[in-house]
Amino acid sequence: MRVLGIETSCDETGVAVYDSQQGLLAHSLYSQVELHSEYGGVVPELASRDHVRKLLPLIDEVMAAAGTQSQDIDGIAYTSGPGLIGALMVGACAGRSLAYAWGCKALGVHHMEGHLLAPMLEANPPAFPFVALLVSGGHTQLVRVDGIGRYRMLGESLDDAAGEAFDKAAKMLDLDYPGGPQIAKLAEQGEPGRFRFPRPMTDRPGLDFSFSGLKTFTLNTVAEHKLESGLPDDQCCADIAYAFEDAVVATLVIKCRRALEQEGLKTLVIAGGVSANKRLRAELESKLAKIDAGVYYARHEFCTDNGAMIAYAGCQRLLAGQEQELALKVQPRWDLESLPDISADGPS
């Protein structure tokens, strides 16, 4: 089966062609970061308009790169949630309309399932069951995964997601959007040990997350050390960035290890934009090796939103017989555990 994947849930337009026999044939991504950076975050209306401008040319580009004509496409998978409703509507309208015109199947895909399955695109994919850490601007979740559609939520953020916390901390330090890469870059110049930020909710049982208190602690630290310019000096900013990143990473690592031990599993998958953080990957590999557990993640270009993960996830569900009705349906909020179990059919 050959599937065209479309991702438009937020501020990146992603398109890919995936073949169940040949693998990923082509993919391309257009990022709106420059468009939104002057506002310090995503402006939903601007995001939707930019998807409208970029999506069809990107589809033409990827189809040509994959050497694929419309008659070669067996199905179209598009992100139908969760995400920004306007952005989701752009991809859903385009995907469902093309499927109708081309006489092929269509299917709306859960955005976080796409992230969760992105490591399956690698040469050495993880085997079920495993624990997945889904960590991005909008989500921080620990999920037990026993197969495609067999998901059980173990813990999630009660307020700010980790990626959102990175963005807000970056804004406090007058860094550009998105905040994660900017904090990580500045933290490389930081002095370990000057500040120690709290590791939220690690001193109590459970696998839920909370980063709002860490955000407040960061704001107070910046205020305590600011100069007349309104910010601390450059070295102090770097030290704060180091301490903030260290606290987020330590919190995630503690909860991941706790989840693996609770579930009696030895495999962790990390996915989502924050999974590209180098310190997080290094700390997970180091700490989990002590309990003989392995870590899997997607290549860097598939950590953030992309069409390849949607094409892959959609292909698995289309092969299992799922198909979208003609009426459009997008879900800005969508429970991952509500997805149908297709694990008996096996991935391809």
SS3 (DSSP) at 167 = helix
Q: Is 72 annotated as a binding residue?
A: no
Beta bridge partners of 155: 142
Residue 325 domain-assigned? yes
113 and 160, same domain (yes or no): no
283 and 210, same domain (yes or no): yes
Q: Is the peptide bond before 82 cis (omega within 30 degrees of 0)?
A: yes
Gap between the Cα atoms of 212 and 227, Å rounded: 25
103 and 203, same domain (yes or no): no
For residue range 193-250, list pLDDT tens digits in order. Answer: 999 999 999 999 999 999 999 999 999 999 999 998 899 999 999 999 999 999 999 9
135 and 72, same domain (yes or no): no
* Cα-based angle 42, 207, 84 (whole degrees, multiple of 5): 20
- At 346, the pLDDT band (50, 70, 90 cuts) reads very low
Q: Is the peptide bond before 232 cis (omega within 30 degrees of 0)?
A: no
User: What is the per-residue pLDDT for 344?
Assistant: 64
Gap between the Cα atoms of 188 and 302, Å rounded: 24
Residue 343 domain-assigned? no
Residue 320 domain-assigned? yes
24 and 170, same domain (yes or no): no
Q: Is 135 annotated as a binding residue?
A: yes
Q: Is 314 annotated as a binding residue?
A: no
Comparing C-alpha atoms, which of 338, 318, 342 is closest to residue 78?
318
Q: Is 180 annotated as a binding residue?
A: yes
Model confidence, pTM: 0.94
151 and 76, same domain (yes or no): no
248 and 264, same domain (yes or no): yes
266 and 135, same domain (yes or no): yes
Residue 248 domain-assigned? yes
Q: Is 190 annotated as a binding residue?
A: no
Residue 123 domain-assigned? no
181 and 41, same domain (yes or no): no
Q: Which tokens go with 261? A: 């031990």
CATH of the domain at 101: 3.30.420.40
Domain that holds residue 177: 128-297
Gap between the Cα atoms of 34 and 300, Å rounded: 19
164 and 263, same domain (yes or no): yes
In this predicted model, which residue has the larger pLDDT, 249 or 347? 249
66 and 201, same domain (yes or no): no
Residue 67 domain-assigned? yes
User: How many domains is the chain built from?
Assistant: 2
Residue 107 domain-assigned? yes
Gap between the Cα atoms of 105 and 229, Å rounded: 58
Strand pairing class (2-7; 75-81): parallel
Q: Is 91 annotated as a binding residue?
A: no
Q: Is 134 annotated as a binding residue?
A: yes
* Cα-based angle 211, 147, 138 (whole degrees, multiple of 5): 25
Beta bridge partners of 145: 130, 151
Gap between the Cα atoms of 37 and 255, Å rounded: 32
Q: What is the mean pLDDT of residues 53-58?
A: 98
135 and 33, same domain (yes or no): no
For residue range 281-335, list pLDDT tens digits in order. Answer: 999 999 999 999 999 999 999 999 999 999 999 999 999 999 988 888 999 999 9
Q: Is 167 annotated as a binding residue?
A: yes
Residue 332 domain-assigned? yes
